[in-house]
Every structure is written in structure tokens, then in C-alpha cells.
Amino acid sequence: MERGKMAEAESLETAAEHERILREIESTDTACIGPTLRSVYDGEEHGRFMEKLETRIRNHDREIEKMCNFHYQGFVDSITELLKVRGEAQKLKNQVTDTNRKLQHEGKELVIAMEELKQCRLQQRNISATVDKLMLCLPVLEMYSKLRDQMKTKRHYPALKTLEHLEHTYLPQVSHYRFCKVMVDNIPKLREEIKDVSMSDLKDFLESIRKHSDKIGETAMKQAQQQRNLDNIVLQQPRIGSKRKSKKDAYTIFDTDIESTSPKSEQDSGILDVEDEEDDEEVPGAQDLVDFSPVYRCLHIYSVLGARETFENYYRKQRRKQARLVLQPPSNMHETLDGYRKYFNQIVGFFVVEDHILHTTQGLVNRAYIDELWEMALSKTIAALRTHSSYCSDPNLVLDLKNLIVLFADTLQVYGFPVNQLFDMLLEIRDQYSETLLKKWAGIFRNILDSDNYSPIPVTSEEMYKKVVGQFPFQDTELEKQPFPKKFPFSEFVPKVYNQIKEFIYACLKFSEDLHLSSTEVDDMIRKSTNLLLTRTLSNSLQNVIKRKNIGLTELVQIIINTTHLEKSCKYLEEFITNITNVLPETVHTTKLYGTTTFKDARHAAEEEIYTNLNQKIDQFLQLADYDWMTGDLGNKASDYLVDLIAFLRSTFAVFTHLPGKVAQTACMSACKHLATSLMQLLLEAEVRQLTLGALQQFNLDVRECEQFARSGPVPGFQEDTLQLAFIDLRQLLDLFIQWDWSTYLADYGQPNCKYLRVNPVTALTLLEKMKDTSRKNNMFAQFRKNERDKQKLIDTVAKQLRGLISSHHS
């Protein structure tokens, strides 16, 4: 029962479900009926559903039939109307066909025209499209043409800019065209071409700048010279309110009003030829000499191409090579100043260019690179100058070289290069300059001394007198009072030597100019150099004159007088140096002049030479002595040679009147002593083996003549009999033999007041032996004469006693 109820309930549910599905099928769009039908097939009652569906279809068919039956009459009426309409439609069709035929016939030309119009419109559209495409391509072609023109005219930096625009702006718009692809492929080649051509221009610029560095340096140094002259004028004539440019501005020879990030010029690069300017014309600036645009262009091109480092390395490497070439001096540089000038001009030109590049580019060169080059240049330049300046023997060339080095250093110092080492080297050249000056002045002094007449300077007028006094500081009131003509005591070489010493001081001062030395340093330098001139050069010149073989006594006397006056003038030389250096002699560490010592030494040498010369003259006269040592005749006058000798001595000592008294006295005493000694040697020489009393008497006359000369006072200032003491040994020896006073001699020998105190027993014995031999040989019959025999015994006895004295003295 329950099962039946359950089946009935399920049947009702299924029927309800089928009803719902049927309503959905009726109401749902055909495209969405799939899910509904799926639910039917998913169930197990689709057979019943089909039955239900068939029943519903039949119901709808019956409803349709009812509806058709209800409207059938209307349908029949419609068919009838429709048949009527068909006939009318046929007529209309025929009319339309006829009209169409007529229209086709009439519109055939229009169709042809329309076809032609269609073709024209198509061509117009194509032309418009073509024009549009050409408008896109034309800028590309124009840019490419512009690029080629720029390449042809060597405007490489704009060409590179054009290439950049072409590559990034224009070509992408027409990249699908084949010619554009060719252009794109050619762009790297164009870049390399621009790169190579700009590098070629740079190489030409570097070669040109190397050849014209001396012109650039000459310009810079001329401007430095002009600025220094201007500074001197301003210092001498200061103007209130005047405004001066800084040194850097005054020395600027390059146009620095530039943008460091853009090329300077599109003109051809190089050094422009500039003719030598007159001294009074303005020196051209480097903007008139140098076009740096190749450097800037190449730098910017390489920067744009991403190869700036390559360019910097290449530029620095090439400039280093050029620096080494510039710093290599020519082998004959030392021969002329132009050789040094050209060498300095090239160095200055090189570093002026580098300094300009440093300040007008960003990083192409840096300060470290410049400093490295300068250190190398400084060491090589100093080494070259040391080597070549050592060959200079002309002080004028050395002085000109010094001035050139100072100008060289000042020029580079303006551009910020340290030049202290150059000034240190100039101090070394100063010593060399002093040596060349000393050599030059040695020749000057030699010429002065050789050409001097060694006679007092005669003056016949007040004008001549003032002229000499103006050349040499001399004051003598007695000489001023004397009437003209009169003579200065010194010869011409005194004012000449004095003025040449002053000229030497001036020459030393010239070298010290512009060396940035203090007054004390300049004073010390001048004094040391002057001391060398006095103690070495002038002293040697005087010594050479004094030691000449043909020098006469008159010349020696005049030299002594001259050196005396030069010695007195040393204080005026001190004042002269003080006036030009403004350093007082009392200043600490001030060097003193050694002129006094120099002239004293020369005077002493001349005095010694006078003594020697006098003795030589005396010896020459004594060589004329011709004594007959065996004569028995008694003479009544002095020998002729001795008379001549005494006359010579009198005339010589008469010349000594202007000599200092002590010198004349010493010369006179020396001559007398030498004469006495020589006469003694002549009497005792071994070649005189025998002599007679008559010969001794003649010799005594000669000695008396000498004593008479000594008593006459040939030189004033001697005390009584002082000069005669030179002949005292001879006088006592001759008195002993002539007076034959042996008893007194032997008895008083050794006593302080002995009459023959100056007679040496050896000398007496030697002379006695000569007389003894004479007595024996000249008279063979002497032994038969009692007097002669007694005299011979006496001689033997005296000789024996003399030997005893000698032996006792030695013991």
C-alpha cells in the first residue's frame, strides 16, 4: 500500500517536472534549450516525456488548425489580390526592364567616364601616398646630402651632429626602405671617416705647432719684455689712480673668451704666418698666431664617439715626444745668442700652448701632466745650459745669456711654472761669468801694462789736469800750486787700471740685475769678484810685468810709485761699491776689499826685483873688472869699471827720489852690501892664486871710491857713516895688509874693541897665502937678501899664528 502511494507520488512529481520542462521549451530561445534537454536525458522517464511531448504537439496542431480555419477566407482573399498584383507587377517589370535597357544605353558613356574617374581617383590617392612618403624621405636625403657637404668641407663636428640627427631622428621614420638600410649600414663607416679625418687635422696641427713654437715663444717673451719695461716705467713715474691689468692679463697671448665644451672654429687649422714686427709696434697676440680649433674639434668628436680617453692619451703622448725634441739643444747653441734665444722660444712656445690647452679644455691635460712635463723640461734645460754655457768665453755673451734666461724664467713664471731652479742655476753661471770677466780683464790689464811708458803723466793745462784728476782720485796741494807744465807722480796705467776696476764692478753689477737678490747679496757678490780681480788677475799681471827679463829699474821704480797710489785709492773703490749697492761697509758680514794687500805685495815684489836688478847690474860691471894681480906699480886712481859703476848707481838712486824713503834706503844699502861682498869674493876667488902689494893698493883705491860714494849720501835718510858700514869688512882687511899691522891684529883678536874686529882669520890667511907665494916666485934671489928673507919669515910666522887662531876658534 505504501509502495503504491510512493509510486503514485513519484509519478506526480515526474509529471510536474515534465510539465515544467515543456513550458521552458516553449518559452526558451532555441539556442538555450540544450540544458533543458540535458535534464530530460539525465532522468529515467524520457520515454514518458516523449509521450508527453507528442501529446503537447498534437494539441498545438489542433490549435493551429482551428486558427487557420478561422482565418481561411481572409487567406483566399489575399491570394486573389495577390494574383491581381502579379499581372501589374509583370507590367512594371517590363517597364523597368525597358527603362533599364534605355538607361544602360544612355549611361554607357557615363560608366566609361566613371571608370576613368575611378582610375583618376586611384592615381590621385597613389600620388598623395607617394608624396607623403617622399616628404618623409626627403629630409633624410637632405640630411645625408648636408652630411656629405660637411664632410667635403672638413666641417667634421657639424657633420657628426648631422649624423646623430640622421641616425636617431630621421632614419627610424623610413627604416623599411632599402636605401635607408644602406645608409644605416654606412653610418659606422662615416663615423670612422670623421674620426680619421679629424685625427689627421690634429696631426697637421701638432706638426704645425711644433714648427712654429719658436714664433709663439718669441711672442710671449716679447710681451714679457714689454710688460717688464712698462713696470719699470711705472715704478719710475708712478701715476695716481692708474689702473693696471694683472700680469696674467698682460701676458695673455691666447683668446680665452671661449666655451670649453664647443669647437672654436670651423676654419682650417694651423699657425698663421706673422711678419716680424717693428720694436715700436704692438706685439701680436696668439689669437693672431694660433688656431686651436683642430684640437677642440677632435676632442669633441672623440668625446661624442665615446673615445675621449683614447684621444687624451694620443695627444699627451705626441706632445711628450715633441717636448723631448724641443728640449734637445743644437750642438752649436753656445756659439751665438740667437741659438739660445731660439731654444728658449721653442720651450716657451711649447708650454704656453699647453697652458692654453689646460685652461680652455676640460681634462685634455691636467696640472699633474703639465707639472710632470715642466719638471722634465727644467732638468733638461738646466743640464743643457750648464753644458753649453761652460763653452762661453765672452763675458758679453754670458751677460746676454743671463738676461735671456731671466726673461725666459719671468715669462714662464707668469704662466704659473716654478722657476726657482733657473735662478739658482744663474748663480752658478754668475761664477762662470766672473771667470770670463777675470780672463777678459787679464787681457785688458796686460795691454795697459804693456803699453804704458812708465813715466809720470805730464800735463800742460788745467783741462788736462782736471781730466786726470777726474779719472783717478788724487789730491796734492803742492802739485796744484806748481805752474804748468807739471807732472803727476804716477804713470798712465794708474788711472786706466783704476777705471777698469770700476768697469769690472759695473760689469758684475749688470749680472746681478733682475736676479731677485738682496742688496747685501749683490754687495757681497761684487766685493768677492772684485777681490778676485785684485788678488789674482791684477796681481798676476803686475807680477808678470815685474818679472819680465827686460824690465828696467826706472820701470820698477815707477811701478812702486803707481802701486802706492793705487793702494791709497782702495778706500775710494770701497765707497764706489757702497754707493752703487747702498750697503754700508760697517754692515755685518760685509766683505772687505783686499786691494791694499794686492798692491803691497806687488810693491814688495817690485822692491825685491829692484834689489835683484841692481845686484845684477853691479855683477855686470864687476865682470868688466880686469885687475893685474901681479903688478908692482902703484896706481893713483880708481879702476874705470868701478868709476862707471858708481856713476850708474848715482844716476839710479837719483831716480829713487819719488820712492818711499825706506825703499830707496834699502835699495841703496842692498846695492852697497852686494858690491862689498862681490869685491871681497873677487879678491878671494880661487882663480887669483897670487897677488902683489901693488895690486892690493889698486884694489884699495877702488874700495875708497866706493866709500866715497857711500859718504856722499846717494839716498837721503841715512845716519852718518851708516852706509859706509857696508864696506867695513873690506876696509879693515885692506888696512891690515897695507899697514902690515899684524901685531895689533894678533894681540887684540877676540876683544870687543879690536881695531880689526871685522877681519876673519880665515880670510886673512887666504889673502896672506897669495902674497907669500908671490914673494917666493917673483924673486928667486930673495933668500940672498936679508930684508926679503926677514919678510918671508914674518909672513910664515903670521900665517902660523893665524892657523893657530883658526884651530883654536874651531875647537
Position 267 scores a pLDDT of 39
pLDDT, tens digit (0-9, with 9 covering 90-100), for 569-579:
888 888 888 88
Could you give the C-alpha distances from 743 to 733, 739, 801, 802, in angstroms and in order? 14, 11, 11, 12
Euclidean distance between CA atoms 412 and 402, whole angstroms: 15
Vertex 577 angle, CA 572 and 578, to 5°: 95
- Are the C-beta atoms of residues 466 and 433 closer than 8 Å to each other? no
- Region 500-514: mean pLDDT is 87
Could you give the C-alpha distances from 253 to 249, 347, 415, in angstroms and in order? 9, 15, 11
| Banded model confidence at residue 124, pLDDT cuts 50, 70, 90 | very high
Strand ranges inside 377-450, DSSP E: none
- Region 317-336: mean pLDDT is 84
| Banded model confidence at residue 783, pLDDT cuts 50, 70, 90 | very low
- Region 248-276: mean pLDDT is 41
Position 249 scores a pLDDT of 45
What angle do the packed helices 395-414 and 420-451 form, to 10 degrees?
160
Position 351 scores a pLDDT of 86
Euclidean distance between CA atoms 196 and 322, whole angstroms: 21
pLDDT, tens digit (0-9, with 9 covering 90-100), for 39-93:
777 766 777 778 888 888 888 888 888 888 887 878 888 888 888 888 888 888 8
Sequence spans of domains, the chain? 14-66, 124-172, 217-228+287-417, 741-810
Cell 789674482 locates to 536
- Region 9-27: mean pLDDT is 77
Position 29 scores a pLDDT of 67
Euclidean distance between CA atoms 11 and 493, whole angstroms: 171
pLDDT > 90 in the chain, percent: 3
DSSP lists the bridge partners of residue 458 as 487
- Are the C-beta atoms of residues 445 and 538 closer than 8 Å to each other? yes
What angle do the packed helices 493-512 and 420-451 form, to 10 degrees?
170
More reliable by pLDDT, 481 or 686: 481
- Are the C-beta atoms of residues 737 and 767 closer than 8 Å to each other? yes
Q: Is the pLDDT of residue 99 over 60?
A: yes
- Region 651-671: mean pLDDT is 78
* Candidate from 81-85, 108-112, 235-239, 420-424 with smallest mean pLDDT: 235-239
- Region 613-620: mean pLDDT is 86
Euclidean distance between CA atoms 697 and 701, whole angstroms: 6
Position 254 scores a pLDDT of 52
Question: What is the residue-averaged pLDDT of the chain?
Answer: 79
| Banded model confidence at residue 425, pLDDT cuts 50, 70, 90 | confident
* Candidate from 384-398, 410-424, 653-667 with smallest mean pLDDT: 653-667
Helix (H, G, I), strand (E, B) or coil at 306: coil
pLDDT, tens digit (0-9, with 9 covering 90-100), for 374-416:
999 888 888 888 888 777 778 888 888 888 888 888 888 888 8
Could you give the C-alpha distances from 279 to 226, 282, 345, in angstroms and in order? 10, 8, 18
| Banded model confidence at residue 27, pLDDT cuts 50, 70, 90 | confident
Q: Is the pLDDT of residue 250 over 70?
A: no
3-state SS of the chain: helix, strand, coil percent to 5? 75, 0, 25
Position 278 scores a pLDDT of 40
Position 555 scores a pLDDT of 84
Q: Is the pLDDT of residue 120 over 90?
A: yes
Cell 624621405 locates to 137
Residue-wise DSSP of 731-798: HHHHHHHHTT-HHHHHHHTT-TT-TTTT--HHHHHHHHHHHHHHHHHH-TTGGGSHHHHHHHHHHHHH
Predicted structure pTM score: 0.66
Which amino acid is residue 301, in one-letter code? I
* Candidate from 360-364, 616-620, 728-732 with smallest mean pLDDT: 360-364
- Region 505-532: mean pLDDT is 84
pLDDT > 70 in the chain, percent: 86
Cell output for 87? 499581372
Euclidean distance between CA atoms 599 and 593, whole angstroms: 12
Show the DSSP H helices in 452-518 as ranges: 462-471, 477-481, 493-512
| Banded model confidence at residue 585, pLDDT cuts 50, 70, 90 | low
More reliable by pLDDT, 152 or 783: 152
Position 127 scores a pLDDT of 92
Cell output for 142? 637632405
Euclidean distance between CA atoms 722 and 728, whole angstroms: 10
Cell 937678501 locates to 785
pLDDT, tens digit (0-9, with 9 covering 90-100), for 273-321:
333 444 444 555 555 677 887 888 888 888 877 888 888 888 888 888 8
* Candidate from 21-35, 103-117, 421-435, 751-765 with smallest mean pLDDT: 21-35
| Banded model confidence at residue 764, pLDDT cuts 50, 70, 90 | confident
Q: Which of 753, 747, 759, 756 is nearest to 801 (CA)?
A: 747
Helix (H, G, I), strand (E, B) or coil at 271: strand
Vertex 389 angle, CA 384 and 391, to 5°: 115
- Are the C-beta atoms of residues 699 and 683 closer than 8 Å to each other? yes
More reliable by pLDDT, 385 or 171: 385
The full length of the chain comes to: 811
Q: Is the pLDDT of residue 247 over 50?
A: no
